[in-house]
């Protein structure tokens, strides 16, 4: 069932009868109640006939109006749509009438003496006809009716897309909505019920006929709303500018201190009844409800100094005579190449095989900036926002920056080698010497600048070394370690003053920003430490 605002008194009367109908359906059906259904059904059938007749008269008046205005082709096109609405409505009413006939044939026509249906209070046959055998809804007439009614409205809207809003505002689109889309059917009372059940389940014959009559009136409401709307479009070619406002357009919204600011003031007049067509050399134009168009496109082909470019727009409207006229506007603009700004501790050079974190900004793009990155000579790992991590694998690396599918530019970087770590023996005074320690721990200390810039890539450990106890040219003993610490118990007891410990680093490892470990090669000289024993 459907309804909406701005209804005529007759339509409100039909709505009241529908409320009575739904109330009666909620009651235990008694004979006196059934008599009310007879009355409602007859009244709704009469209201439908009157409404369709009124719509016929409106179409006839539209034909006279078109003739009086000289049979303009656009007016005749509107009239053709109104005739088509009428034809589709008649088909829809005939469809519902066929269902009424099927019910009456199955259950018996009115008794000529009493004026009552012999099975007016029965509903078993109604359940079978409308809901299908064993409630197989797809085989019942109700499911087909719901689909056909909604298809009818879709067909009306296809005749003129602008009919969608007025029909929707009147509650007529969709015409037979699903239960989930109807607020009044959301209570527990309607659990496990659909549109078919709500309208026809356990509904006596005479009440079912009244429901069908109400649905016919809903169909006629669609016809009425569509024809009334189309009537307003007859001769709708005179432009009345009913919105006038003051406007200003500045040559530039950004000015430097000490320079002139220039703007033009003018009156803008628009018509709320006007539906202009707009286009531009830069693509489509989005028109709002006020008839104001927005041109939006991605600028390209700029230069650091700025490149002058133009775009042209066309607005097509109908004059008072109904003829199309085109108005043009030409606008000049300046395109400046965006400047890529890099924020990092290593702006101009990167470290090889390290995660060099950068922030790549393009201030000129403002909130439109949505970067994507590609790289040559290494890998670009996108972070959040404007962040990117570059992992070079060659002597040079290039980062290309794009935004919204448009390339902004390329930034080139030189790549430098990672400085070697320094090997230090923890707690040992290598110049003065001392007693032979019980153990030795070696640390691989990163370059201070490298550690400050990329701390997650500057994590080192000594993975192996040997310690030799030497006396003159003789080797007294050797201890080995597979990590940063060596136990010297095996050679410490043999040590004497004047001996020396010779420490040779065999391996150093680095853990990078991705927690991956790689071996680091250091020179033999850098990995050799001597400790004198006193």
Do β-strands 378-382 and 349-351 pair in parallel, antiparallel, or remain unpaired?
Answer: unpaired
- 508 has which bridge partners? 462, 520
8 A C-beta contact, residue 329 and residue 315? yes
Q: pLDDT tens digits for the chain (534 residues)? A: 455 556 666 566 666 666 555 555 444 445 566 778 888 898 899 999 999 999 999 999 999 999 988 888 889 999 999 999 999 999 999 999 999 999 999 999 988 888 788 898 898 999 999 999 998 999 999 999 999 999 999 999 999 999 999 999 999 999 999 989 888 888 888 888 999 999 999 999 999 999 999 999 999 999 999 999 999 988 754 455 666 677 666 565 544 444 566 667 767 766 666 678 888 888 888 887 767 788 777 777 766 666 787 888 888 876 544 557 777 888 877 776 777 888 775 556 899 999 999 999 888 777 778 899 999 999 999 999 889 999 999 999 999 999 888 888 899 999 999 999 999 999 999 999 999 999 999 999 999 999 999 999 999 999 999 999 999 999 999 999 999 999 999 999 999 999 999 999 999 999 999 999 999 999 999 999 999 999
The pLDDT value recorded for residue 70 is 84
Which pLDDT score, from 0 to 100, does residue 332 have?
A: 78
Q: Residue 10: its pLDDT value, please?
A: 58
Domains and CATH numbers, the chain: 9-231 (no CATH), 243-250+262-332 (no CATH), 341-416 (2.60.40.10), 422-532 (2.60.40)
Rg (CA), the chain: 44
Q: What's the pLDDT at 88?
A: 97
CA distance 381 to 333: 36
In the β-sheet with 406-416, what is the strand arrangement from edge to edge?
349-351, 406-416, 396-403, 371-376
3-state helix, strand, coil in the chain (%, to 5): 35, 30, 35
pLDDT for position 252: 56
Show the tokens assigned to 394: 């060659």
CA atoms within 13 A on the CB side of 233: 20
Cβ atoms 89, 222 nearer than 8 A: yes
Compute the C-alpha angle 13/19/25, nearest 5°.
140
Characterize the bridge pairing of strands 459-471 and 439-445: unpaired
pLDDT, position 427 = 92
* Residue 372 CA from chain centroid, whole number: 20
Question: Three-state DSSP class for 481?
Answer: strand
Condensed to tens digits (0 to 9), the pLDDT of residues 295-322 reads 777 777 766 666 787 888 888 876 544 5
**C-alpha–C-alpha distance, residues 255 and 447, integer Å:** 48
What six digits make up the tokens of 98? 């066929």
- What does each C-alpha distance from 302 to 181, 295, 306, 360, 373 come to in angstroms? 52, 19, 6, 20, 21
pLDDT at 155: 97
pLDDT at 315: 85
Closest CA to 299 of 335, 346, 348: 335
Q: Is 433 left (phi over 0), alpha (psi -120 to 50) or beta?
A: left
DSSP character for 310? E
Q: How far is Cα 306 from Cα 339, in angstroms, rounded to an integer?
A: 12
What span, in angstroms and rounded, lies between the C-alpha atoms of 489 and 367?
Answer: 67
Query: In sequence order, what are the residues at sequence separation of 6 or more whose Cβ sits closer than 8 angstroms to the Cβ of residue 300?
Result: 335, 406
- What integer pLDDT is reported at residue 26 of this predicted model? 46
Task: Please tell me the distance from the alpha carbon of residue 393 to that of residue 224, in angstroms, as a whole number.
Answer: 74
* Cβ atoms within 10 Å of 322's Cβ, excluding its own: 16
Provide the terminal-to-terminal Cα distance of the chain, rounded to the nearest Å.
107
Specify the pLDDT at position 28.
Answer: 43
pLDDT for the residue 322: 53
């Amino acid at each position: 069932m459907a309804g909406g605002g701005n209804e005529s008194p007759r339509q409100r009367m039909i709505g009241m009868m529908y409320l009575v109908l739904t109330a009666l359906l909620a009651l235990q059906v008694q004979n006196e109640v059934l008599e009310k259904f007879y009355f409602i059904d007859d009244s709704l059938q009469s209201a439908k006939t009157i409404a369709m007749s009124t719509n016929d008269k409106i179409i006839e008046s539209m034909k006279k109006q078109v003739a009086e205005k000289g049979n303009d082709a656009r007016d005749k096109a509107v009239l053709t749509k109104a005739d088509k609405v009428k034809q589709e409505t008649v088909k829809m009413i005939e469809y519902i009438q066929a269902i009424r006939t099927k019910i009456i044939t199955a259950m018996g026509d009115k008794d000529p003496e009493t004026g009552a249906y012999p099975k007016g209070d029965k509903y078993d046959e109604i359940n079978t006809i409308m809901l299908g055998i064993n409630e197989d809804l797809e085989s019942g007439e109700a499911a087909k009716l719901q689909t056909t009614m909604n298809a009818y409205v879709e067909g009306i809207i296809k005749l003129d897309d602008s009919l969608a809003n007025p029909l929707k505002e009147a509650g007529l689109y969709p015409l037979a909505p699903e239960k989930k889309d109807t607020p009044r059917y959301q209570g527990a009372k309607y659990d496990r019920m659909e549109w078919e059940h709500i309208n026809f389940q356990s509904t006596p014959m005479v009440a079912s006929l009244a429901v069908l009559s109400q649905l016919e009136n809903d169909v006629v409401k669609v016809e009425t709303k569509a024809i009334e709307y189309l009537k307003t479009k007859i001769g709708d070619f005179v432009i009345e500018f009913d919105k006038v406002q003051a406007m200003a357009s500045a040559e530039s919204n950004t000015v430097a201190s000490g320079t002139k600011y220039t703007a033009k003031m003018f009156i803008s007049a628009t018509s709320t009844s006007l539906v202009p067509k707009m286009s531009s050399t830069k693509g489509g134009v989005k028109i709002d409800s006020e008839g104001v168009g927005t041109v939006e496109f991605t600028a390209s082909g700029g230069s650091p100094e700025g490149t002058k470019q133009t775009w042209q727009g066309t607005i097509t409207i109908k004059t008072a005579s109904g003829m199309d006229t085109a108005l043009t506007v030409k606008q000049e603009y300046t395109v400046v190449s965006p400047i890529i700004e890099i924020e990092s501790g290593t702006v101009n050079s990167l470290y090889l095989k390290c995660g060099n974190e950068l922030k790549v900004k393009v201030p000129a793009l403002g909130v439109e900036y949505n970067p994507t990155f590609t790289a040559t000579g290494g890998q670009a790992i996108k972070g959040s926002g404007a962040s990117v991590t570059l992992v070079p694998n060659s002597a040079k690396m290039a980062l290309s920056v794009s935004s919204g599918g448009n390339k902004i530019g390329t930034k080139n970087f030189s790549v430098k080698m990672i400085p070697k770590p320094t090997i230090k023996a923890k707690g040992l005074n290598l110049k003065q010497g001392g007693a032979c320690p019980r153990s030795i721990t070696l640390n691989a200390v990163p370059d201070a600048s490298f550690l400050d810039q990329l701390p997650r890539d500057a994590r080192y450990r000594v993975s192996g070394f040997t310690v030799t106890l030497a006396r003159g040219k003789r080797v007294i003993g050797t201890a080995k370690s597979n990590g940063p610490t060596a136990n010297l118990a095996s050679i410490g007891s043999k040590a004497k003053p004047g001996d020396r410990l010779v420490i040779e680093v065999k391996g150093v490892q680095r853990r990078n920003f991705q927690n991956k470990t790689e071996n680091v090669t250091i020179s033999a000289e850098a990995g050799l430490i001597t400790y004198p024993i006193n």
